[in-house]
Structure 1
Amino acid sequence: MIKLEDLRKIDVKGMYKIYDEWPKIARESYFSNLSEINFERCSHIVFAGMGGSGAIGDIFSAILSKTNTHVTVVKGYHLPRTVDSKSVVVITSISGNTVETLAMLDDARRIGSKIIAFSDGGRIYEICLKNNIEHRNVSKYHSPRASFTSFLYSMLRVLKPIIPIEESDILESIENLEKISKTINSENISMSNPAIQISEWINNSPIIYFPLGLQPVAIRYKNSLQENSKMHAMIEDIIESSHNGIVGWGTKNNFQPILLRGQDDYTTTKERWEILKEFFESQNIEYKEVISENGNILTKIICLIYLLDYSSIFLAVKLGVDPTPVVPINFVKERLH
């Protein structure tokens, strides 16, 4: 098992220190002095962003899925034709320089949509300032992926007038972050730490199974394993996989199944989990279950992300790789125009 000195030595830029502060950053961001948007509530909100910024859009999509608000998450260069002047386009780029997101900002301006942008400066800020577009500057901590709670909770504050999310749900999520931090942060480098338990279990490429409501968690965890742990990972919808993906387990492979479960998954989803577990056991395939906290959907999602993100840092240390550098991403970015 890793030791604290391993964490300090391998995580050279101290990413883990920012994760220790995630609950504090979440609380300070939500109760910051950022002004709320003055748009009227609308029926269509578009979240445009890439990577960790795009994952924030996935979270809003999940928590608004049972409301009357239509949410579109776009990761790419162009907005869909369903976006019009009545849509609110939420532009998110932590660096403020993401080329795809800049292109979507241009699209939104051309369409005449209502726009609110979030970044830590960069070209997005400059464009918004020049064109009188609503912009909120949000602090980056260490790296875009480590800045997750800073941006998510700042956006929850600013977007309150147009998103039907109860403040009690937001406060519950922060309180639960504070609670689980006591067991998963760097002050508990032991096998009683659930994040370390997960990192110690992984020795091959994970296939992450999820129910629909926890899709943002699966996407974020895949990304964190890829960026922090420098390893391949796949995600599978538990229901859809029963019609195709499960066949791959019929041959010998080096994948490991991780089952992301909600405390109160839908009845038929619970049934599917039990069938999948029965199948794995019949094939002598070891699996890992990760179950959410109790609470509203935001609480479930953000607490799972906290646990799993931290496990990806511990896994990086276990593998002897610094979680911070993302050399292949920089290779691509340097060649983009």
Structure 2
Amino acid sequence: MCEVYDKWPELARKAFFQPTEKIDFKDINEIIFSGMGGSGSIGDGFSSIFSKTNLNVSTIKGFHLPESINPKTLVIPISVSGNTIETHTVLKQAKKRGCKIIAFSSGGKIEKFCNNNKIEYRQIPIVHSPRASFVSFFYSILNTLEPMIPLKQNIILKSINDLEQLSKNIASHKLDKKNKSLELAKWINNIPIIYYPNGFKAAAIRFKNSLQENAKLHAMSEDIIEMSHNGIVSWEKTSSIQPILLEGKDDYIKTKKLQKIVKEYFKKNHIQYNVISSPTGSILTKLVYLIYLLDYSSIYKAIIEKIDPSPVKSIEFLKKKIN
């Protein structure tokens, strides 16, 4: 797994420049991404990117599309394995209800259904596992949907360049105190809760999922604004849960004020916390930077605990039963 993650910048660049048939859907007023787990985190990332447009954008993680969908809805099912039952179910619903569709997978039932029903489809090779395939899928989809993406190519390329720079500091050959991913992994010794501003929701949920899958560790995530209305009360009781705050230099001014107050509260009550900051730049740069850094931290945590991050036996058990 480390060998794959060390190559993430290379995989991202290759995926974005891979020759592909680009597509630009017209006359749409809504985009719905559908995916679970690692595939769902891809949809979360694109939801953040498209939030800068006048389109309604959401990610469905389950079996059902909303009743409001119509022929002006673009549904984008993503399943790295190609056999995710929830995503396959959503794909069939979208076809039945006349939505515009483009699907992405490494093959499987998703590919077969799209080919049989003449639905736009792109095959993307899986790399090691669905979660490790994140950048290959993410940048391949960016490549295909480039005419629709509200980002110029130089912004996309900057995000890849920033991945390359980050890799020099967190890759498996750089096991020293300057490795932020490794230091965070060492710091985590109990159940982490990840607090995030709304723009970083995709990175926070992805980190929670990666800790669960790679390190086999319980983890939680919560919007920091929502936390200030209820979750902060739970800290009145002594707890072994560890808060991790995701933040950026250009977060909304009132969000930054709230983050400052929360940290003041933690210090006053002797609650140890960790802050992970994104670089400046586009939402794309921030998200892929955070996801890379935090994914690697979950892998290092697994290694520290002498756990193989690759197998997910519990998921395999569930899939066999539900299929």
Q: TM-score range by the shorter chain?
A: over 0.9
Q: 2:301 aligns with which of 315, 323, 328?
A: 315
- Aligned partner letter, 1:82: S
- Specify the SS of the correspondent of 2:126: coil
Q: State percent identity of aligned pairs.
A: 51
| Runs of 4+ in structure 1 over 4 Å off | none
Q: Does 1:110 align with 2:96?
A: yes
Counterpart-to-counterpart distance in 2, 1:144 and 1:73: 17
1:253 maps to which of 232, 239, 242: 239
**Could you say which residue in structure 2 is the equivalent of 1:179?**
165
**Matches of 1:129 and 1:63 in 2, distance apart?**
29
How many Å separate the matches in 1 of 2:254 and 2:103? 39
The one-letter code sitting in structure 2 at the alignment partner of 1:76 is G
TM-superposed deviation, 1:198: 0.4
Q: Compare relative contact order (CA 8 Å, sep 6+) and give the higher one, 1 or 2.
A: 1
Does the 8 A contact of 2:27 with 2:72 survive in 1? Answer: no
The separation in 1 between residues aligned to 2:27 and 2:302, in whole angstroms, is: 43
Distance 2:207 2:140 in 1: 21
Q: Following TM superposition, by how much is the alpha carbon of 1:260 offset from its aligned partner in structure 2, in angstroms? A: 0.3
Partner residue of 1:142 out of 117, 128, 133: 128
- 1:271 matched to which residue of 2? 257
Structure 2 residue 193 is matched with structure 1 residue 201 = no
Look up the equivalent residue of 2:101 and give its one-letter code. Answer: I
What corresponds to 1:298 in structure 2? 284
Q: Distance in 1 between matches of 2:24 and 2:52?
A: 24
Letter in 2 for 1:153: Y
Distance 1:293 1:240 in 2: 24
Matching of residue 223 in structure 1 with residue 209 in structure 2:
yes
Aligned residue pairs total: 323
| Deviation digits for residues 123-158 of structure 1 (CA, Å, limit 9, x no counterpart) | 111111111111101011000000000000000011
Contiguous gaps of at least 5 residues in structure 2: none
Q: Check if 1:49 corresponds to 2:74.
A: no
**TM-score normalised according to structure 2 size:** 0.98
Name 1:95's counterpart in structure 2. Answer: 81
Q: Does 1:81 align with 2:67?
A: yes
Secondary structure of the 1:320 match is coil
Residue 163 of structure 1 deviates from its aligned partner by: 2.9
Where does the alignment leave 5 or more consecutive residues of structure 1 unmatched?
Answer: 1-14
Aligned to 2:112: 126
Within-5 A mapping of 1:29-68: 29-40=15-26, 42-68=28-54
Taking structure 1 as the reference length, the TM-score comes to: 0.94
The 1:38/1:258 distance shift into structure 2, 3 A limit, reads: closer
- The alignment partner of 1:325 has SS state of coil
1:331 aligns to 2:301 (yes or no)? no
CA RMSD of aligned residues (A): 1.0
Amino acid corresponding to residue 242 of structure 1 in structure 2: S
Q: Distance in 1 between matches of 2:253 and 2:148?
A: 32
| Paired AA for residue 158 in structure 1 | T
Partner of 1:4: none
Contact 1:41 1:163 in 2 (8 A): no
Deviation at 1:187, TM superposition (A): 1.1
User: SS of the counterpart of 2:322?
Assistant: coil
Is the Cα–Cα contact under 8 Å of residues 209 and 237 in structure 1 kept in the other structure? yes
Q: 1:169 aligns with which of 132, 155, 177?
A: 155
| Contact 1:40-1:162 at 8 Å conserved across structures | no
Equivalence for 2:178: 192
Distance in 2 of aligned mates of 1:55 and 1:122: 20
